[in-house]
Amino acid sequence: MRRWATAVAAALALALLVAACGGGGGDEQSAQTVGIEWGEPENPLIPGNTTEQNGGDVIDALFAGLVKYDVDTGQPSNEVADAITTTDNRTFTIRIRPGWTFHDGTPVTSQSFVDSWNWTAAGPNAAGAQSFMEKIDGYDEVSPEVPTAPTMRGLRVVDPQTFTVTLEQPFTIFPLTLGYSAYYPMPQRFFTDRAGYEAAPVGNGEFRFESRTPNQNLVLVRNDQYAGSVKPQVQRLDFRVYSELQTSYDDVLSGNLDHVRQVPPAALTGDRWRTDLGAGAHQKEGLVTDSLGVPLYDPRFANPLVRQAISMSIDRQTITQQIFGGVYRPATGYATSAADGYVPNQCGELCTFDPQRARQLLAQAGGFAGPLTLTANSDGGHDPYMEAVATSIRQTLGIDARYAPVPSFSEQRRLANAQQFTGLFRNGWQGDYPSIETFLTQLYRTGASSNDYGYANPAVDAALSQADQAPTTQAANAGYAAAERTILADMPNIPLWSRPVIYGNSARVAEAEHNPLNRQDTTTYRLNPQG
Amino acid sequence: MTEPLLHAGTARPGDAGEEADPDVEHPGGFWSDAWRRLRGRPLFWVASAIILVLLVMAVFPSLFTAVDPRAADLAGSGATPGPDAPLGRDLQGRDVYARAIYGAGPTLAVGVLATLGTVLLGALAGLLGGYRGGWPDSLLSRFAEVFAGLPFVLGGIVILTTYNPPGQLVGESRLVVQVVATIVVLSWPMAMRIMRAATITARDQDYVRAARALGAGRLRVVFRHILPNTLAPVLVYATIQLGAFIGAEATLSFLGIGLKDPVVSWGVMIAESQDRVAQIPHAILFPAGFLVVTVLAFVMLGDAVRDALDPRGR
Amino acid sequence: MGRYTLRRLLQLVPVFLGTTFIVYALVWGLSDDPFAGKCGQRECSPAYIATMTERYNLDDNILVQYLKYLGALLTGDFGQTFSGTEVSSLIATAYPVTIRLALVALLIEAVIGILAGIVSGVRGRGFVDSLVLVSTLFLISLPVFVTGLVLKQVLGVELGIIRTSVPNDPSFGDLLVPGFVLGSLSMAYVARLTRTSLVENARADFVRTAVAKGLTHRRVVGVHMLRNSLIPVVTFLGTDLGALMGGAIVTEGVFNIRGIGGLVFRGILQQDTATVVGIVVLLVIVYLVANLVVDLLYAVLDPRIRYD
C-alpha cells in the first residue's frame, strides 16, 4: 500500500509540475495589441504565391500596392502609384510616388514591381498567383516549366519611378485590378536571401513583421515609416490561429480576442450575432458567391432545360432565411452588387423559385434519369445548406436528389480537375477585384482556369474579348453584363446566393474594418481609450 | 449446452477453485446453470424488454410513426416540440421523432455489429496471445500495435474512400457493413489488450494450473476456466464501447464518409445538429437520450450476463 | 525481466518500420492527385507540380520514397509542410501542449474514475451505485463536443469562470476543464471497470482468507482487493495514455488548444503528408512505449505474473 501511495503521489507531482511549468505571460503589451482570428497560411508569405485568405490577410498588412480599394465602396484609388495612364488600353505607363521604402530601409522603385511580377510569372518559381500575369505581353515565353525568355517583354523600367506595362490585348479595366496582392512589389532581399525573407517577410506596408510561431500565431508591429496617406494606429496585430470559428467567436464575446473575420452561421440565425456583438457587429456587401456547378460532361445535364428546371426548383429565399438568418442574399445573377458593372436581376425568372414552372421544364426536357447527387466538401461547413438545397430540389421536382459529401477540399478539387463529378457540385467564388469581370472570365471562358463545368460557348468568348477591349470602362461593363446574360441562359453554373462581408469586433475595439473584398484594412484599426 | 465428447473425461477435476460453491455442481453443466441464474434476475428482463422494443423499432419503424423522416419543412426549421412534431424539428425542418425512430435500425446495426466484431476479434486474439504467450503473443501484440498506432480519422478516410469513390452513391447495407468494418479494424487492439491482460491474470491462477496439471485439454482450459474469468472486463468494455462506437459512426458521418442521406442514424442526427446545440437543443438532446437508454439497456444486460456467468456467483 | 524488456525493445524496431511504412504509403496513396486544392479554385501549374514532386521524391517508387524519408528522419529532418514550415518546429510547439492535456485528462479520469468505482463497488448495489452508473452513462452517451460546448458556454461565456479558449502556453488550471471533457468517456469506463473488478475480487479466495484472518475492512479493500482489481484498470489507463498522447481533435477544437490532434487532423484533410507522417511516427513510438510500460507494470502489480 505504501509503495502504491508513493508511486501515485510521485506521478501526481510530476503531472502537476509538467502542467504548471510555463503558462501565463506579461500583459504589458497586450493592452496595445489587437488580437485577430486567423488560420495557418497555406504557403510562405510571398505576395505572388498567395491566393488564399489567411496568407492574404497578413500580406495585405505587410504590403501596399499600386492602388488601394476604398474601405467602404471598394473603389480603387492610387496608393504607391502616382499616376497610371494609357492611350490605347494596352500599354500603361505607371509612375510611382517617391518616399516609399521597404521595412529594411531600401526604397520602393519601379524595379521592385517589375522584378516581383517577373518572378511570379516565371514557370520554375511555381507561384500560386502566376495566372494573374497572363495578360502581360511575353507571359507565354516565361511561364512554361522551361522558359524561353528570362523576363516578360511587356514590362519595361523607364526610370526608378516609372515603368510601362504592355498587355497582349487591350484590357480596359486593368488599372482596377492592380490592388490585388499578386501585384505588390518585392524587396531586393527576397531575391538574394529567400530563406531569410520567408523567416521574416519584408514589405512596404503599414505593419512590419515581428514574430511567428507556426500553428499558433503571427505578430506584426506598426511601421512608423509608412508612406501611405492613412497611417496605422494600433501598436501591434496578433494573428491567432483558431481551428474552430465558434471558439474564436466565443473569445471575442468574452474579451480574449478582438476581431473575428467571419461569424459562425449558427450565430446568424435570428440575428443573434447582432445582439451578441452589439456595436461590434459589421456587415457590408461583398464579392463572394455560392453556386452549384453543373458537370456538362455528363450527358444527363446536356439539355439546358434540365439545368434551368433545377435552378427554378431551389427555394433560395427560405434557405437563406432559415440557414443564414436572412443575412445572405438570394442570387439574381453571377456578380454581386459590390462589383463595378453589376446589373441587378440578370437571371430573372430562372433564379426564382417556381415549382410549377420547374416541373414543367423538366417534363419538357424528358425528365431526369437516376439519382441526382450534390457534392461539397464536409470540412468547409457546407453541409447544412447543401442538405437544404438537395431537399428543395427533391421535394419540388420529385427526383431523387441527395447530398453526397466528400471529406476534404482537396478531394473536391481532385474531382473537379479530373472532371469526375457525377452530379452538381458546390462552387464558391471570391472575386479578386471589385469588377463584374472577376465573376466571368476565369469561370466561363472556354478552357479558363476555374471553368470546372467544361463550358464552351464561342459567343461568350467573343463577347468577353470584346468587352475586354472596349474603349471605356462603362462600355466594357456593358459588354460583360451582356455576356453574363448569355451565360445565365445556358446555366452551366446555378447561382445560389451572395455572402456579404461579415465580421465582429470586441468591446475593446473602436474600429476595425474590412473592405468589400473582405480584406482587412488594418489602417482603420483603433482601440477604445483605456478606462 | 452439452459437453463436447472430447472433454467428457475431464469434466470434474478442473473445478479446483470452485469447490466452495455448491451451485456449480448442479447437474446440467455450466452454461445451463448460467441461464438459470440469468432467468432469475429482474435486471435481465428489464434490459431485454428495452432491447426488444428497440429491435422492433429497428425492423418496423413504420409501426411507430407515419411521418417520412426525409420530409422537410424548412419554414418550420428548429420548431420546438409540439402537437405537429412531438420532439420538434431540426435545422432542415424535419421531424426529430420520425428521424429518431428511423435512425434506430442503422444505429443498432452499426453499434451492435461493431461491438460484436471488435470484441470477438479482439477477445480471440487476446485470449490466444495471453494464454499461449511466447512468440505468437509477441506477434499478435505487435500486429495490434500497428493498427492502434493509426489515427482513427486517417484510417477511416483511407478505408472508406478506397472502397467508395467520393461523391458516389452507395447502397445502405453496403455502407453499414463498411462503417462497421472500419470501426472493427481500427478498434480491436483495445479489446485485445484488455482480454490479454485478463487472460494473463487468470492463466497463472491456482485452479487453472490445477486443471492443467490434471490433464484438462487446452481448449477446455481456455473456454471452461479462463474465459469465464476474463469475461467481466470485456463485457464492461463491450457495453460501454457500444455507445462509443455509435459516436465513432457519428464522427465518420461528420467527415462526410460515414452513413449519409437517405440513411439516418442517431450519430448522424447528433453530428448534424452539433453546430446549433445552443439554438436547437432538442435536435441533439433527443437522439442523445435515445442513445443513453440504449446503452443503459446493454450495460444492464451485460451486468446480468456477467453475474450469471461468474462461477463464484451466488 | 531485464531480458524481457530488451526483447520488447528490439521488437519495437519492426513494428515501428511497419507502421510508419503503412502510414507513409496510405497518406501518399490517399489521392492520385496530391496537389488538388493546393492552388485554390484553380488547377496547379505544371511548374508547381514539378517542384513539389521533386521535393517529396514523388517520382520514385514508394519504397524508395519511404527509405529516403526514413533516412532524413534518422538525421532529425522531419521534412517540410507544403507551406514550407519545418514539421519538426510544428511538433516542437504542439507536443508539449498535448502532453500537458493528456496528463491532466489521465489524472482526472484515474482519480475520479477509481474513486467512483471504489465507492460504488464497496457499497454494492444501491443508490450510490445507481447514481454512478447513470451519471457515467450520461457522460458516455453525450458526444464529447456537446460536453465541451456546454461547459464552455456555461463556465466561460456566461459565468466567466474559465477562459473560452486555452492560451498558447497553458497552465494546469487552464487545462482543467478541457482535461475533464477529454477524460470523461474514459473516466466512465474506469469507474465501471474498477467497480466490476472489485465485486469480482470480493468473492475471491484471498479476500475471504484476509477477512477470515480478521483484517480490518479498510485493509482488505485497500491492500488485497484494490491491488488485484487494479490490473485491468492500469492496462486501460496505460493504453489510454497512448491514445491521449495522440491528441484530441474535438476537445482541442472546442477550446482552441494548439495541440497535436488538430495538427494531424488538418494535415489529413489538406493531405499535408509530411505533417501527418511525421506526427504519426512520433505517436507510434509513444504508443509502443506506453504499452511496454503497461506490460511491465503487470509484473509489479501481480507477483503471480512472471516474464521469463
> What is the pLDDT at residue B79?
87
Chain B residues close to C280, C-beta within 8 Å: 149-151, 154
Q: pTM for the whole thing?
A: 0.84
- Convert the pLDDT of each residue in B4-56 to its tens digit: 333 333 333 333 333 334 444 445 566 777 788 888 888 888 889 999 999 99
Would you tell me which residues 44-73 of chain C have a C-beta closer than 8 angstroms to some C-beta of chain B? Answer: none
CA distance C37 to chain A (A): 4
| Mean pLDDT for chain C overall | 80
Within a domain: B273: yes
Within a domain: B305: no
Within a domain: B182: yes
Q: What angle do CA A92, A94, A95 make, to 5 degrees?
A: 155
Regions in chain A scoring below 50 on pLDDT: 1-5, 15-26
Nearest-by-CA chain B residue for A323: B91
**Considering CB atoms only, which of B254, B256, B272 is closest to A406?**
B256
Nearest-by-CA chain C residue for A409: C37
Would you tell me which residues 36-55 of chain A have a C-beta closer than 8 angstroms to some C-beta of chain C? Answer: 40-44, 51-52
Within a domain: B241: yes
Q: Is B244 on the interface with C (CB under 8 A)?
A: yes
pLDDT at C83 over 70: yes
Q: Which of A221-235, C32-46, C70-84 has the lowest mean pLDDT?
A: C32-46
> What is the pLDDT at residue C196?
80
Within a domain: B190: yes
CA distance A246 to chain B (A): 8
Q: Give the containing element (helix H, strand E) for B273.
A: helix B266-273
CA distance A154 to A165: 5
Chain C residues close to A450, C-beta within 8 Å: 41-42
- Convert the pLDDT of each residue in C289-308 to its tens digit: 887 887 787 777 766 665 54
Nearest-by-CA chain C residue for B270: C143
Would you tell me which residues 103-122 of chain C have a C-beta closer than 8 angstroms to some C-beta of chain A? Answer: 103-104, 106-107
So what's the ipTM on this one?
0.81
Structural domains of chain C, with CATH? 93-260 (1.10.3720.10)
Backbone angles phi, psi at C151, to 5 degrees: -60, -40
CA distance A275 to A423: 40
Nearest-by-CA chain C residue for A40: C83
Domain count, chain B: 1
Domain ranges for chain A, please list them.
1-61+205-258+506-531, 284-501
- Convert the pLDDT of each residue in B62-108 to its tens digit: 888 888 888 888 888 888 888 888 899 998 999 999 999 999 999 99
Chain C residues close to B150, C-beta within 8 Å: 19, 22-23, 280
Q: Is B161 on the interface with A (CB under 8 A)?
A: yes
* CA count, 13 A, side-chain hemisphere, A485: 12
Within a domain: B121: yes
**Any idea what the CATH number is for the domain that residue B130 is in?**
1.10.3720.10
> What is the pLDDT at residue A385?
94
Domain A1-61+205-258+506-531 listed as CATH 3.40.50.20: no
> What is the pLDDT at residue A22?
39
Confidence band, pLDDT 50/70/90 cuts, at residue C111? very high
CATH code for residues A284-501: 3.10.105.10
Torsion of CA B230, B231, B233, B237, to 10 degrees: 140
Q: Are strands A372-375 and A401-403 parallel, antiparallel or unpaired?
A: parallel
For residue B110, give its domain range.
67-290
- Convert the pLDDT of each residue in B268-300 to its tens digit: 888 888 888 878 888 888 888 888 888 888 888
Give the contacts of B173 (CB within 8 A, at least 6 positions apart).
none
Nine-digit cell at A505? 469586433
Residues C103, A145: C-beta atoms closer than 8 Å: no
Within a domain: B57: no
Q: Which chains touch C (3 or more CB pairs under 8 A)?
A: A, B
Residues A413, C99: C-beta atoms closer than 8 Å: no
Nine-digit cell at A16? 502537476
Within a domain: B7: no
